[in-house]
Structure 1
Amino acid sequence: MLNGKKIVLGVTGGIAAFKAASLCSKLVKQGAEVRVIMTESAKKFIGELTFLALSKAPVYSDTFDEKDPSVIAHIDLADWADLVLVAPATANMIGKMAAGLADDMLSTTLLATEAPIMVAPAMNVHMYQHPAVVRNMNELVQQGVLFVEPGSGLLACGYVGKGRLEEPEEIVAVVEQFFAREEARAAGPLTGKKVVVTAGGTVERIDPVRYITNDSSGKMGFALAEAARELGAEVVLIAGSTQVQPPAGKGIELERVQSAQNMYDAVLRHFDSSDIVIKAAAVADYRPAVQADRKIKKSGDTLTLELVKNVDILEQLGRKKNGQLLIGFAAETNDLEHYALDKLRRKNCDLIVANDVTSEGAGFGTDTNIVHIYDANGLVQKLPLMSKQQTARRILELAAQRLPGAQG
């Protein structure tokens, strides 16, 4: 799986740097081309000559030490890489990455590269759990950085806990799995297709401090976006109010919106160039007729709020579609098939994914779902209780089969 893959291995200054030598050796043995960048503190633990011998290539540590006058080294490495792997990654390097700092060869290369970045942390257990480190890692996850979780055990400092660099063979396995997913994605049935997914609930403002919304967590929409990416699509994820972190990284373009009108405008910007549009968001049917520009003060025992109808995004898309495959969602509490088919026909959808939100495991905020998928001829598939990721995969596979020119 790693034959011919180009990997930049970043080694930072911790006692786990000695494991990076084994990691480098194992990557090379699996067929990868490896270029090593060391920080100055890493060289206090292990020498450049070790990595030069193992990688059979120059080792980099000084931004100003240009080994080839025809190129700028950190830009050349950044462009060359299929993957940048930082192992071990200290708390300091993770902090610099999160802040966008570039004061040495490795951090400069990390800012310059457009290749995927994978980080394997290694540090004291208390450092790993420190709020600042946790915040920095969460920030990097949102930027699409991949993490190899550290192991637990006896640390060099004498503590026992989480923070030990994962074993080299396990890191190699993660790298192999990453490239396997990338190759599967490149050959997926949605390769070259653009998929637009809406997720979460909309927020309709009453005044600057109050609003109307719903219980949508965004989990189903986020799972659909990830499934579409895994099948090869370029994904635009338009998310309203959500209770979980959205997927990030290469292949998913995230747009945050608030109101139903905001979501409609965002979808329209991408609609003409899309192949599949999936409306998984829970859009508010109504909004306040008047949005106060100041906080409404309490007065009297009652407050009357006048609501007006929002734009029906799915209905408008059904009228405007010109070759796009349009998939809607129907969250119902009774007469599932009747209401699902009625919605499909009224809104000119190609597929409707319906669920009974009163069923255990199928409501808002759950990690699972139970759905029935309908087209104009009736029931297409009835999916049992399964994770939202599995459900999303089945929906996207079905959608891919219905695109023009699809096989099977």
Structure 2
Amino acid sequence: MDYDAIIIGGGPGGSTAGSTLAKAGKKVLILERERFPRFHVGESLIPYGNDVLREIGAWEKMEKSAFMEKLGAEFVLGNSKASIRILFGRYLKAGYAQTFQVERAKFDNLLLEHSGSLGCEIWQETKVKSATITDDGVTVSCDKDGTTRQVSARWIFDASGRDAFLGKQMQLPKTDLGLPKKFATFAHFKCVERNCFPDQGHITIVRLDFGWFWMIPLDAERTSVGLVQTLEHFKATGMSPGECFNHVVATTTELQRRMGKSERVNEFAFAGDYTYRHLQNAGPRWFLIGDAAGFIDPIFSSGVMLAIRSGNAAAKECIAADAKGTALSPRAQKRYTKHVGKMCQVFLNMIKMFYDNKAFEVFMDKNPPKGMEWAVNNLVAGNTRLGWRLRLHVWAFYAICAIQKRFELVPHLDLSDPAAAEPPAA
């Protein structure tokens, strides 16, 4: 074998897997289709990815890279009539009290270079064409520098993002998790109104009656701003993505206040068909990590955390199997798949709550019952390892959300906006 492991994709999941393997003495090849640094959406990190970044040795480099410090999150109605702010440090230990907003071009490049510093071999601008997997290992065919090459390894990790290379090649079954398809339009802006100190680094989520906006401060000037709506709603507007984005900004009270003097500094980008998960995430010699395993709605900024946690977990399963001199056992395959599924389920429950107007009223309650704020704080921070006490309070939160649908336990939220007009149907 040429390598111990081949990783398809050099994003956060692939880089984390590579770093974990390299620290264990493995010979790793990372195949990345693009040339880093490159633009990517998903700029807001959440605290429960911090420990993995520390474990692989990347945290100190992040602290020296002048990324915007993120201490919490803010949720606001589009009509400006209600808002809440979540401060991580109010309930979480010091190691989870803050994280960063990151320009993904710089962040992803930092993680990829870090994996290289630990010993990973990195081939950029290399397109993987096929992978032949047997019980003993894998042979990958790829195009590099205009030449087709063959490389082999005992293990293969698919971190190809929503391209889901192995999932498509192996025709792995997947589910849409019961959520409608979404469409996102996003760009970077300057002169967006920021929160005052110490909340200037918060992500702001502006809730609309048909979707939501994100606002992520990246540095002293630039803010990432994106509109997420159902694909069905977007098509019904009859507008281009940019026209629809501008129309919603112009007819939403909170967005007018924050973006009235803003200026877009790059072209609009688009992403669609959100939310899916492969039902099997590992085999005897392969792993799916990050978005290649599944992608869920980005409302709670889970993408990078799920990528690095799954990449780290997959690498450790590989290392343990190598120590035994075996392929990944059926039990280990199920364990890894269950681990990824449990992390996704925590966020999926929150996503469904967010899109349910009555449940969202509970989330936005200014005077939650004892323990409720603590539970929600942990969930928004990305804590998927729920101990019994936290699990009990999370269960109570969702129980109140369910009751709210029939009996008004918390005040009703009016989502209508005097400044707003639905985009006209085509």
Structure number with larger C-alpha Rg: 1
- For normalisation by structure 1, the TM-score amounts to 0.27
Q: Which has the higher contact order (CA 8 A, sep 6+)?
A: 2
- For normalisation by structure 2, the TM-score amounts to 0.26
